[in-house]
Amino acid sequence: MSRDAKGGSLKHRRNHRIKFIGLGLIVLLSLALFVRVVIAREIEEINQLRATIDAAEGKPNSPARIQALQKIVSLGISQANVNLSGTNLSRAI
């Protein structure tokens, strides 16, 4: 069995390196999956808020619509495509 200067075999060092690389890949894939799930949840929440806004269209005093608009504003999402005509936003903060 060949030994390097530190006393470990080359096979042992190679196996250790493979385990280290494998662990790194597992960590990266786990992080990517976590980020994907978080982004998917945020997109779903935004879609639900927009659906609430659209469902209350034409109702001037809809508290659900006002809350959904406040949440969208707090998230920093553009309201460029939201029709606000006839909406009473006097209670909106």
How far is the C-alpha of 62 from the C-alpha of 82, rounded, in Å?
15
Domains of the chain: total: 1
The residues near 10 (Cβ < 8 Å, ≥ 6 apart) are: 2, 4
Classify residue 28: in a domain, yes or no.
Answer: yes
Query: Is residue 65, in this structure, part of any structural domain at all?
Result: yes
The answer, as to whether pTM is greater than 0.85, is no
Question: Residue 45 domain-assigned?
Answer: yes
Radius of gyration of the chain (CA): 27
Residue 43's domain comprises 10-75
What residues are paired with 9 via a beta bridge?
A: 3
pLDDT, the chain, mean: 82
Secondary structure element (H or E) that encloses residue 4, with its range: none
Residue 49 corresponds to which tokens in the numbers above? 């808020």
How do residues 11-48 score in pLDDT, each as one tens digit? 888 888 888 898 999 999 999 999 999 999 999 999 99
